[in-house]
Structure 1
């Protein structure tokens, strides 16, 4: 687990969520910068998951087999959530699209936190 990268994901994702929720409450549809922000968060998450995958391949991480399966499930969910949020927001080009981006951005730090908990035992 890369600590500074995890902190960057927490900060950027929560800032993006606050911005997206503000846009939702202002009755504004998602704009290109919101989608770009979600893309940046998605790339940071991808980097963290790749680092975890490399560590897992080297024999690091959780010892129990069940924990490894849980870790891989969280890794897949964390990687797929930002693109899924972007696709759903594109399908809903109203203020609700901003809410979808904000919701995805709030869930990402929880997934990264949980990845760290599983990784460290």
Structure 2
């Protein structure tokens, strides 16, 4: 795992989940036409770029691993983590209710879970 990137992605994803949870509690969909909505989309893009960097570096580390790592599982988590936020965002934009925004909460909370699981797969093989 990437020692600095993983905790940063975890905390930023939790922050994105809290932000979306506030929108759910206010009964508002993601306001993509307003400045705060565009800032949220920028935050999601930043998380996605971090996940992309983690995937690239993760596959490089996997190729040179000095211990037994289940490559299929580890690679699946690396690639799967890249799909979570785009799918959640698409769903949220397709359903413009508070429940569409709740999908963003769940999607943002899945990222830290996947990062922790990647760390477990890497460490214990």
Q: TM-score, normalised by structure 1?
A: 0.89
The alignment status of 1:34 with 2:40, answered yes or no, reads yes
CA RMSD of aligned residues (A): 1.5
User: Which residue does 2:68 correspond to in 1?
Assistant: 63
3-state DSSP of counterpart to 1:47 = helix
**Equivalent-residue separation in structure 2 for 1:71 and 1:18 (angstroms):** 28
Residue 34 (structure 1) shift: 2.5
Q: What is the CA deviation profile of residues 71-116 of structure 1, one whole-angstrom value per residue up to 9, with x for unaligned ones?
A: 1111121011111111111111222221111110000000011111
Residues 21 and 105 of structure 2 are in contact (CA less than 8 Å); yes or no, is this contact kept in structure 1?
Answer: yes
Residues 61 and 120 of structure 1 are in contact (CA less than 8 Å); yes or no, is this contact kept in structure 2?
Answer: no
User: Which residue does 1:22 correspond to in 2?
Assistant: 22
Residue 61 (structure 1) shift: 6.5
Count of aligned pairs between the two proteins:
118
User: Which residue does 1:44 correspond to in 2?
Assistant: 50
More divergent stretch after superposition (110-119 vs 29-38): 29-38
Cα pair distance change 1:56/1:24, threshold 3 Å: same
Q: What is the CA deviation profile of residues 24-64 of structure 1, one whole-angstrom value per residue up to 9, with x for unaligned ones?
A: 01101113333222221111111111110111123x16515
